[in-house]
Every structure is written in structure tokens, then in C-alpha cells.
Structure 1
Amino acid sequence: MSHLEPVCDQALAPSRPPIVVMGMALPALFAGAGERDAIRVAEFFAAQIRNANTRRAYLRAVTDFSNFCESRGLIDLDQVQPLHVAAWVEIQLKSYSKPTVKQQLAAVRMLFDWLVVGQVVRSNAASSVRGPKHSVKRGKTPVLDAESTRQLLDSIECDTDIGRRDRALIGLMVYTFARIGAAVQMKVGDYFFQGHRACVRLHEKGGKEHEMPVHHALHDLLEAYLTQAGLKGSNGPLFQSVAGRTGNLNGNPMSQSDAWNMLQRRALAAELRTRVTNHTFRATGITEYLLAGGKVEIAQRMANHESSRTTGLYDRRPDIVALDEIERIRI
């Protein structure tokens, strides 16, 4: 029996509902010590974390930890000890991957640091707790080869606004290595010309703007979409969602979940055998670029990665080499 199991298996107590402060639903454990402390917690999420996706993920992690503590009778932050944090990590590992648990622990640790600086708590109960070891040398994002990518694009109708939109969005991710978050944030004006060269402007994580020249095939996809949809010259979202079942663009930007649903529907219709995600086409573009003789350092710059190691996670050339070697076995 693990030495953490007695902590994990303590009698459960009902958790309190979240407390709303500054328009945010905060976990009761972190917001229940008084208005000043609750505001300090809200400031952590509102002021310290600028990325909306990270903010949601950190708030979920902190809420989960709060519920764990309250269900074990811990209703005051000063009662929380490293052993409780370690027990929570053990429980999370039963339901989540190691990278997710590492992120969850980082969220709790950062919040405790913020509260220590603000003199809400005396010490950081999570600072001495080690997260699960996880080393990645190969990414898990599914990648399509050039033939499958072309099969997908050719299977999408090009005589409707929705079809042209979907082709343009997939093309953007393939030819510019764009993150889906950056793609769906684009305005029509983020596709522009410098002299005779078409360019796109991507709004990346951390408030960074990243400009990329447009591949001729992507230029054709974007021009067909914008012209036929009547979006040229507008200031609205580049990739717009659809109004119900009308098939008409409604002027609102697609969300990442909209894009994911679209890709699942399109992949099914194209009879692809490979699972696709919002990141598939970023990885596909990087791999195909490198297969064509591109350089890793240039791919890193094009993908706007801070480290070439991150770019390497999207490089699936070794998979192709391994398959070629396996085929040498002739029986």
C-alpha cells in the first residue's frame, strides 16, 4: 500500500460551491479566507496569465485541487501540506497523462507562490512536491503524408462558402505551420500584400505577431474563399462560423472546437485512416518541408518555436526511415 493512500482515502466531505470574485468563479478553498485574499487569487488568473487557454487550464487544475482538499476536510489554506499535494498528484495520475499532471501541479505551485508573495499564506505547500518524470523525444501528434493531405483537400467541395473556408483553413495550417489558436483569431486584414507578395499575419501565444509569406497554393485557396464569400475589404474574422444549418457565414470567428469538429467530419468523409487533430496539419507541414530538404532552423523560425527541440517533436522523418528499414525484411 502506498504511504499516500491514507491521505487519498480519508472520509470525503462535501465541497463548497465556487465563489465569484471580479466575475470569476474561484475555488472556495482559495477564495474563502476573506475578500482581500479572494481578490488576490482572482488577480493571479486575471493579471498573471494572459493566454485564455492557459487561464482556463490553470483554473480547472486549481479547482480540482480545491475540491480534493475540501473533500478531505481541509477548509483553510494553512492546513494544506506537501503530503496533501503529493496525494493529489497520485490521484491525478490515475486519470490524466503525465504532461497534463505536470501542468496541473505547475498551476497549483504558481498560485501558492503568488499567495506567499501577497502574504496570504506563509509557505508554498507545492514547492517541494516533484511532478512525474516525463521525457519526450517524439511528438504524439498524428501526421498525414502529402498524398493523404491532398486526398482530404480534394474531397472538400469547392462550390460552397463552407467548403472554401475549410480548404483555406487547412491550407493555412499546412503551408504556414500555423497553430489553430492563431488561425481562428485571424482577421481578414491579416491576409495582405507587401508589393506583389501575399502575406499572412499570425497572432501567436504571448502576444507575438508572426508574419509569413503565402505559398502559391495557399494564395489560390484564400483568394477563392474571400472572393466568393464576399469578405474582401471587410474587417471581420477571416474564418467564420456558420449560422445554424443555413450554410451561411455568420460573422463570428470559428472556435478551436469548431475547427476540431470540422476536421473530424472532413476526415471521415475523405475516408482517412489516420486520426486528425487541430495540430495535425502544423506537424504535416513541418515534416513535408523537412522531407523536401528544408532546414530545421528555418522550420523553427517558420513555426515560431522558441527551441529547435520543439520543432523536432513535429519532425516525423525518422518514422519513414524506420518503415523503409522494416521493409528490408523479406520472408
Structure 2
Amino acid sequence: MRPLPPPERLAWWRLRFEHTQAIRAALREETTPKGERWSPAYVNQHLVALRCVLRFSRRHQLMTADDFEAAADVAPVRGHREQTGRAVGEDEIDKILRACLTDDDNPARGIRDAALIALMHATGIRREEAVQALRAHYDAALRTLRIVGKGNKERTVYVHRRAAEWINAWLALLPAKPGPLFRPVHWSGNVQARALKPSSVNYIITVRCAEARVAVFTPHDLRRTFISGYLAVGGDIVLAQRQAGHASVATTAGYDRRSDAVLQETVELLYLPTPADVHALAA
């Protein structure tokens, strides 16, 4: 059997209905390195990419409209997988911030890490949004931060007053000149002018988790933690969507990591009279 050419050399415009259906069937049989079937969401990502390639071929007149419509008529794969990620516990946040604050080797770096983690925990912003944030866009008086998120969409997030104290402590160490909000700190303690890289956020969290002796979590878990916590205290999901910068409420709901115990406690708050209550009312 001849090996397939690389994707950029395939004649995608020659695909027809039977070919794309075979591709869909093959994707459903793909497995991860651990031997598990690809999740429905991951298969559907590939199907979306396939439709995009077909659409590109149609726009460049490499396919007829009928051939494109038939080939692109690929139904998404249905199914469900348990949610990934987790919410970070309050005790874990306490330990991590304590580890940052007791960094005797580089106190400035410790304050920066604490401010970064506190901001992400209290606002639910993405790691890319955090490292791209500008000092000039943070209003300490109003405790707001203007950021640019996915799709080049600008929004304003509101910072918890306690998180603002960590940010203000970090701002006190920054030069007066404008620039990125979060910057690398040299081993000597000098704050550099450039912005942190997104990968640096992962490294910071991993190191601080090890120092605090808590289970490692990802920057996106802080995002899940914010949404779960906001909803747990009675926050409106539409407002959580606005703060998180999601395109739809359904996406925001997918970040909820509250346990079933919270659901049970909430159900218990609903009103329903017992038999004894009904008898008492009738008496």
C-alpha cells in the first residue's frame, strides 16, 4: 500500500460524499496514545476542519456547488465525555499565595506570581489575556482591567478587592513607564520591560504548586474555579459569561465544576410542604 502524501499535497477537491463519510467513520475509530477512543468533540474538530477545506476548494472553483454540498454533508458525531479539569480549592489558593509571599530568594518575583495567580483566580481571564494586559488599562480606583480576548474582542473585567491588593503590591515594584502589566523578573530582582510569555504562566503555577505541596493545576483550571465559585455564590450565568469573555452561555456552563453536593444542598432550599406541614395547616 502506497503511503499517503502530506495533507498539503492531497487533492481535497476530489472528495465526494462517500469519501467524507469514510473519513468520518475512520475518525470515530481513532485512539489516543493511551488506547482510548477520540472524544466526540475532538472528532468534530477534525470534521469542521474538513468542511473548511472543502469550502475553500469551492470558493476557488475547484469543486462544483453540488459536489461541495454533498461532500460537506457530514453529520457531527454525538456523544458525551466527563468534564476535564478541576476547580482549585480555597486551601490550595491559600498555600500557593503563601508560597509566593515567602519567596526569600526573589521577593519581587514572588509578589508578581501572587498577583498573577490572584488576578486569574478572581477574574477568570485566560493566560494569554493576562500576559497581554497593559498597566495603563488597569484602573486601581475602579478595580477594572481592560483586556483584549479571543477574536480581538475587547472587554472590561472587574477585579475582586482582595485581588486588587496583590496587584497593587506588584504595581509598586514596576517602573513608572507604561508597558505590560506582568513582566519577567531577573534573578537579581530587576523587573524587565517585556511581557511574560503564555507558557511562563504554566511554569509559574507548576513551580508554586510544588512549593506549596498541592496538586498541580492548569491556568485554565483557575478559569473554571472562578466560574464555579461565581455561580456557587448566586452569580448570574450571563454576567459570568461576560466576565469570562465566552461567546455563549452554553460554553460558560461547561466550565462549572461545582460538586453534586452543592446541587443537593441547593435542591434542599426549594419549598415543598411535608405531610406534617399540610396537617398543621389543615388543623
Q: Could you say which TM-score interval applies, normalised by the shorter chain?
A: 0.7 to 0.9
Distance 1:190 1:134 in 2: 42
Greater mean alpha carbon deviation, residues 218-227 or residues 99-108: 99-108
TM-score, normalization: structure 1? Answer: 0.66
Superposition map of 1:172-251 within 5 A: 172-193=119-140, 196-228=141-173, 230-231=174-175, 233-242=176-185, 248-251=190-193
Q: What one-letter code is carried by the residue in structure 2 that aligns with 1:152? A: I
Kindly tell me: are residues 119 and 88 of structure 1, through their superposed partners in 2, closer, same or farther at Cα, counting changes over 3 Å? farther
| 1:259 shift after superposition | 1.0
| 1:323 shift after superposition | 9.2
Q: Which residue of 2 aligns with 1:169?
A: 116
Distance 2:188 2:27 in 1: 47
Q: Which residue of 2 aligns with 1:118?
A: 60
Q: Which residue of 2 aligns with 1:140?
A: 84
Unpaired runs of 5+ in structure 1? 1-9, 17-26, 30-74, 325-331
Distance 2:236 2:13 in 1: 53
Q: What one-letter code is carried by the residue in structure 2 that aligns with 1:260? A: N
Superposition map of 1:140-159 within 5 A: 140-157=84-101
Distance 2:97 2:182 in 1: 17
Residue 156 of structure 1 aligns to a residue in which SS?
helix
Distance 1:255 1:79 in 2: 42
Residue 279 of structure 1 aligns to a residue in which SS?
helix
Distance 2:162 2:41 in 1: 36
| Structure in which a larger fraction of residues adopt strand | 1
One of 258, 274, 282 as aligned partner of 2:223: 282
Distance 1:208 1:287 in 2: 23
CA contact (8 A) 1:158 1:164 kept: no
Q: What one-letter code is carried by the residue in structure 2 that aligns with 1:149? A: I
| 1:246 shift after superposition | 5.5
Q: Does 1:106 align with 2:48?
A: yes
Residue 120 of structure 1 aligns to a residue in which SS?
coil
Greater mean alpha carbon deviation, residues 86-95 or residues 181-190: 86-95
Unpaired runs of 5+ in structure 2? 266-283
Distance 2:190 2:260 in 1: 41
| 1:220 shift after superposition | 1.0
Residue 72 of structure 2 aligns to a residue in which SS?
coil
User: What's the CA shift string for 1:210-248, capped at 9, x where partnerless?
Assistant: 1123221111111111212x23x43322122355x6564
RMSD across aligned positions (CA): 2.9
CA contact (8 A) 2:146 2:155 kept: yes
| 1:290 shift after superposition | 2.6
CA contact (8 A) 1:82 1:129 kept: yes
One of 74, 77, 87 as aligned partner of 2:12: 77
Kindly tell me: are residues 84 and 248 of structure 1, through their superposed partners in 2, closer, same or farther at Cα, counting changes over 3 Å? farther
Q: What one-letter code is carried by the residue in structure 1 that aligns with 2:209? A: A
Kindly tell me: are residues 314 and 87 of structure 1, through their superposed partners in 2, closer, same or farther at Cα, counting changes over 3 Å? closer
User: What's the CA shift string for 1:171-194, capped at 9, x where partnerless?
Assistant: 11111121222112111112125x
Structure with higher RCO (Cα < 8 A, 6+ apart): 2
Q: Which residue of 2 aligns with 1:319?
A: 260
Distance 1:113 1:299 in 2: 35
Look at both structures and tell me which one has the larger radius of gyration over its CA atoms: 2
Distance 1:162 1:248 in 2: 9
Q: What one-letter code is carried by the residue in structure 1 that aligns with 2:133? A: M
Percent identity over the alignment is: 28
Residue 200 of structure 1 aligns to a residue in which SS?
strand
| 1:83 shift after superposition | 4.7
Q: Which residue of 2 aligns with 1:46?
A: none
Kindly tell me: are residues 84 and 295 of structure 1, through their superposed partners in 2, closer, same or farther at Cα, counting changes over 3 Å? closer
Distance 1:150 1:239 in 2: 21
Superposition map of 1:85-104 within 5 A: 85-86=23-24, 89-90=27-28, 92-94=30-32, 96-104=38-46
| 1:78 shift after superposition | 3.9
